[in-house]
Amino acid sequence: MKFENKTVLITGASRGIGRSIAEEFAKNGANVAFTYLSSVEKGQALEKELGEFGTKVKGYRSDASLFEEAETLVNAVVADFGKIDVLVNNAGITRDTLLMRMSEEQWDEVLRVNLKSVFNLTKAVTKPMMKAKYGSIINISSVVGIMGNAGQANYSASKAGMIGFTKSIAKELGSRNIRCNAIAPGFIETEMTGELNEAQLAEWTKSIPLKRAGQGSDIAKACTFLGSDDAAYITGQVLVVDGGLLM
């Protein structure tokens, strides 16, 4: 049990990649705290499901993009679990459209939810992690934060910002034995990609050397590696998990 007696906090875990990450950590013995926002039912269902692995699990309804809520969340998790060993900044949204049609609101919302939330939670966990002289912070970025994508200027900018933030925090906190890395998923099958038609899916997979979309479990396993002591000498890095798309 790689994460026995370790506590992991994951934002945006009620569905998609976040849900897979929460399951993988629980499966590997971690106590799991996670956030959800829109659906209380989904949050409660996940709490029950993860609890079947035999570790302590608790869901919190919290908006990571709000500074004060992030601070309150971290304090609550530390009070309930005693510590936070690993933080996974996963919460994110898309508001895709071409720049010429993109509203200021669509730009601001994506940057607030995707990037400001990473600042909020990372700042909030810094104090307990520095006190413990131990921690791993993992930011879920995207390949479009590296290569860009038409119709996703806001999303690409937010994910590129996460990479710069990751490298800076790794330099700031490394002397305190706190690591910070990013994962850049490629085309991953989630509820969102489920809305694409067969022609769109075929177009995407054609450009991937492995000729298939990734699964949430592919990102989750990369996440548990970076969060574990197996990656104790890895910090400031971006692990691209994309089936070879960026080669």
Q: Which residues are annotated as a binding site for NADP(+)?
A: 12-15, 90, 155-159, 188
- Tokens 């969340």 locate to 73
Helix (H, G, I), strand (E, B) or coil at 142: coil
Q: Which two tokens stand for residue 173?
A: 């906190």
CA angle 162, 97, 142 (to 5 degrees): 25
Catalytic residue flag (residue 36): no
Which residue in the list 36, 60, 134, 155 is annotated as catalytic?
155
- Is 203 within 8 Å of 213 (Cβ atoms)? no
Write the DSSP assignment of 46-85 as a string of letters: HHHHHHTTTS-EEEEE--TTSHHHHHHHHHHHHHHHS--S
Question: Measuring CA to CA, how many Å separate 157 from each of 1, 18, 110, 147?
Answer: 37, 21, 9, 10
Residue 80 to residue 198: CA distance in whole angstroms: 45
Binding-site sequence positions: 12-15, 90, 155-159, 188
CA angle 123, 181, 210 (to 5 degrees): 140
Residues acting as catalytic residues:
155
